[in-house]
Each structure stands twice: as C-alpha cells, then as structure tokens.
Chain A
Amino acid sequence: MHPIFASIAIAGPETILTLGSLAALMLGTFTPKHRALVVTSLFAVAILGVAGFSLTDAPAGRSIAFDGLYVADDFSAYLKVIIMAAAAASVLLALPWLQERGAGRFEYPVLMLLAALGMAMMVSANDLLTLYVGLELAALPSYVLAAFSRADDRSAEAGLKYFVLGALASGMLLYGVTLVYGFAGSTQLDVIAQLVSAQAERSIGMLFGIVFILAGLAFKVSAVPFHMWTPDVYEGAPTPVAAFFSAAPKAAALGLMARVLVVAFPGKVAADWQQIIMFIAIASMVLGAVAAVAQTNVKRLLAYSSIANIGFALVGLSPGSPAGISALLFYVTVYVAMTLGSFLVVLQLRRPDGGTVETMADLAGLSKTQPKLALALAIFMFSLAGIPPLLGFWPKFAVFQAAIASGLLGLAIIGFIASVVAAFYYLRLIKIMYFDEPAVALASEGSPVNGALIAACALFCSPLGMLAMSPLAVATARAAAALFPA
C-alpha cells in the first residue's frame, strides 16, 4: 500500500468529513428543493456522528501522518469529539430558523461540515503550515455563514467585518510563522522544540514570531486585545450562526493554541509565552466582565461573556502544566454546553411580531410566560457565573487550582475578582426574567429537537452534571498527557 493511503487511514475523521461534505453538497443539489435543506442537514449530522464515532476506533497513542504534518493523539481525539458534537448541535439548532426562511438553503449544513473539517485539522496540526491551512478552512465557511442572511444589512456587515479582520489576523499569524521558520529552521512543532532548546540564548526574532502567532490566534479565540470584532459579528450574524461561532471554533482554536505553545515552545521559551498568555487571560477576563455590564442586547452580552470565558480558559493554559491543560479542556467542554444552551434559549423565543429576541428588556417576566425556558436560561446563567452547585463552578475551580499549584496566585486572584464582577450581569438577567413584569408575551418557537437540546445542555450544566465529572477528569488528564512526552 502506498504511504499516502496509510496517512489517509490515520486521518480517518477528516477523510470522512471531506468525502461527506462533498457528498452532502451533491445530495443537496440533486434533492428536490422543498426537501433539500432537511435531507442535507440530517445527512450532515450523520456524517459528523460517523466522524466522531470513528475516533473510538483509532489506535491508542500517537500516530503521525503525511510526513509529520498531521498527528492523531488523545488530545486531538478529545477535542474532535467536542467539535463534532458542537457542530452537529449547530446544524440541528439552525434547522427551524432556516426553514422559516425558505427550504432551499441547503448550503448551511455543507458549510458547517467544511468548517468542522477545518477545525478537526486545526487540533491535529503538527506543523505550522497544517495549522494555517486548517485555520483558513475553518474560517472561510465562517465568513460565509456570518453573512448568511444576505438580505439583512447587519448580517452582510458582520460577514464583511469578520472577513476583513480575519484576513488581517491570518496575515499576522503567517508573518509569525515565517519568523519562527526563519529563526528556528523548521515548521514542524516537535522539530522546532528540539531546535529551540538547543539555542543558547533567547533570539529576539523568534520572540517576534511567537508574538505574531499569538496575536493571530488571540484574534481567532476573540481574546483581548484582539476581541473587537466579536460583539459586532455576534450581533449582526444570524443567531444560530452566532451560537456556532461561540462554541466549536473556540474549542478548536484553544486546543490549537495549547498544542503549538506546549509542544513547540517548551523549556526556557515557555516563560516567554506564559507572560503573554497571562496578560491575554487577565485582559480578557476583566474586559469581558466590565464591558458586558453596559450591554442591553442579549447577543452582545453573550459575546462579552464568551470573551470573559476565553480569559478563564486561558488561565488554565498559563502554567503550561499537564494539570493546567487538563483544566483547560474541562473548561472548554463545559463552556461549549453553557454557551450553546444560552443561544438555544434565545433562538427558541419569539416576539409576538415573529421577530427574535434582541434586547434584555424583551426577557422581562419570562418566568411567567415561558417558565421552562426561563429555568433553563437561569441554569445557564448561574453556571456561567460559576455559582457552586452548578457544573460551571467546577471548571473555574480547576483552572484556578492549576494556576495556584504553579505559583500563579496573582493571576488566580484577578480571576476571582473578574468572576465576581461578571456574576453581576448574569444575575441581573435572572432578576429581569424572574422579578420584572412581563413586557411582551414571548412565544416559544416550539421545535422539539431544540427543546431536547436545551434540556440536554441544562441537565449537563445542572448539579446532575457532576456525575459526568469523574469520566471527564480521566479523559482530560489522558488528553493533556498526550502533549507532554514522557
């Protein structure tokens, strides 16, 4: 057998997604128009399921494919499961919204499959160039998705803004890659690590390379100071697309960041990037907490909440230790459920005129008009705020514990303070829902699939989710260990 076929077998999930996305495109093209969207969406969910399931069949340990460009290990497998699940949920949750706007737009699930393929490639990248290709493959469908409601000016604006700023960030990332290649002599992560540890003193050129790579990646995870696109894009993009943006791409980009920093820049250089990550983490936590206080739009609020949460997740990356990476993965897992749940509730609610909920004032008295959805949203808000019995408390606890164990007490204290400030706006939303008089009678859009997704996310974030904690702890510890060669 030719070696390329062995590589294709190792990259099984990506192969399935590639062929599946092409098949989905043809399926949508040749299915009668009134059924195309539903058929393609269900097919896409099935493909994501098969790709996720194929991970259980992968050989244990670390497999390298495509001459060292691609790596499949426990770390990539763990993140891919999250990415596939989040992408499948994003396809399903968009279905009622898309059907309201005409049944023919079957491109949506196809774009979602392509974005999932790019994200799977990102977390399996063992080379700076694979990283870049994966990142672009995930980003290009995202730009199209942001502008998916073509007739809506705000959606078009969100798409254009995302595209222009995303292209600039990709340029910065590539510039960093060229500098690292120039000063280290390789683009392969483990080879860079060897070459860097062999260097006697710190090279300024290499440092610039790391700074630019981090700036590009910070843009992708929407971390301060490269967060400015996030509220505008979330507000302008269609709500199901904003839900997608806040979940899977964040998990993929955080995983990518962790792999590049931990694998390629260990030892002496680690102290350099740790400062930067700590700065990004503190800035994101504080800005996400403070700026969200003044928001009245629900989607902008969730955008700032996602910025703050990225900051908390990066606290787990700051120590660069196995415990920290494990906490980061745990944080990402719970965050994806919390944010998807919150967006699902927003998506499920309809104003009497048929429009979607935009401002927080719309949610007033939700506990009286829609008690079940209000309860679910309250669970997500309490969980995002990190109130103890809910699951959202534990990942925050884990990242701070990992930071303190590595002596980063100051970082943890700033994190505590930011999370108290952030609790204000989460609790204010709950107060609006439970203690204010209803302003408009909101209807539930009533899709049973979305209702089931909300219930699943709410159960996971509720205290019952703690049952999942010990298997998650085992899985995240194994995944994190894959980044640290024994």
Chain B
Amino acid sequence: MSAIASEYLPVLLFFAVGIAFALIFVSAPIAVSALTGTAKPEAVKLSEYESGFPAFSDARAKFDVQFYLVAILFIVFDLEAAFLFPWAVSLHWGGESAWWAMMEFLGELAIGLVYAWKVGALEWE
C-alpha cells in the first residue's frame, strides 16, 4: 500500500461503510416492497400448491390486539426467568452486588407489572 493511500485509509474506510449502509437504507425498503408487493397477480400464481385445498378465508384476518399485549407481557416475564436461572447458580461468585442488582431488577419489573395491571393491559375486554 502506498504511503498516501495509507494516510487516508480511515476516511476511505468511512466512505465505504457510509456508502454501503446508505445503499442498504435506501435500497432495502424498495427491494422489500418490490418483493412483497403483489406486482402481477394472476390466477395460477395466486392459487394454492397442487396438493393443498382452497383457503377457508383470507389469511389477513383481523384478530384482537390483546393477543399482542399478552405476548409482550409473556416475553417480559419469560426473560426475567431466563435471567434468574443463571443468576441463581452464580450468586455464589457474584456476592452481594449481584444480589442487590437482581433485587433492583425485580423491583423495577414489579412496578412495571403494577402499571400494566392498573392501566388495564391484563383485562381481556
């Protein structure tokens, strides 16, 4: 590598990364919409594969937003459990700091649950 190229290497790298990601930012949405959009619908393309049966109804059926809320709350408490298991077996090494860090986390989670409960995220109707 010549001296002058080496001197300007950082900014060249930055150019390359900048251009690459700018292309991703711009082209990815276009590509996704081109690929997912129904550009040329025709009967054969839209039909089920050969051993399938005709659909009973539209796949894009509306369903209750409550399912999402339950899913989100489930993930929160699922992750809590995922944290608690390794914490519990390594508490011996983590000592008092680890104990208080987890208590703080559980406290925050409890407050989050109180909020979700009170604003009615857990009620189905």
Contact = CB atoms under 8 A, between A and B. Distances in A.
Interface of A: 2-4, 22, 25-26, 29-30, 165, 168, 172, 202, 204, 207-208, 210-212, 214-215, 225-226, 228, 272-273, 275-276, 278-280
A211 B10 contact: yes
Interface residues of B, number: 28
Contacts of B10: 207, 210-211, 272-273, 275-276
27 contacts: A4-B96, A4-B100, A22-B107, A22-B111, A25-B111, A25-B115, A26-B115, A29-B115, A30-B118, A168-B21, A207-B9, A207-B10, A208-B13, A210-B10, A211-B14, A212-B17, A215-B17, A215-B21, A225-B18, A225-B22, A273-B10, A275-B8, A275-B10, A275-B11, A276-B11, A279-B11, A279-B15
Contacts of A228: 22, 25-26
A140 B9 CA distance: 34
Nearest to A274: B10
B80 interface: no
B108 interface: yes
Contacts, number: 71
B114 interface: yes
A3 B18 CA distance: 43
B32 to A, nearest CB: 11
Interface in B1-29: 6, 8-11, 13-15, 17-19, 21-22, 24-26
Give the interface SS of chain B, mostly helix, strand, loop or mixed.
helix
A242 B8 CA distance: 37
Contacts of A165: 25
B77 to A, nearest CB: 18
A226 B21 contact: yes
Nearest to B26: A228
B119 interface: yes
B29 to A, nearest CB: 9
B97 interface: yes
Contacts of B100: 2, 4
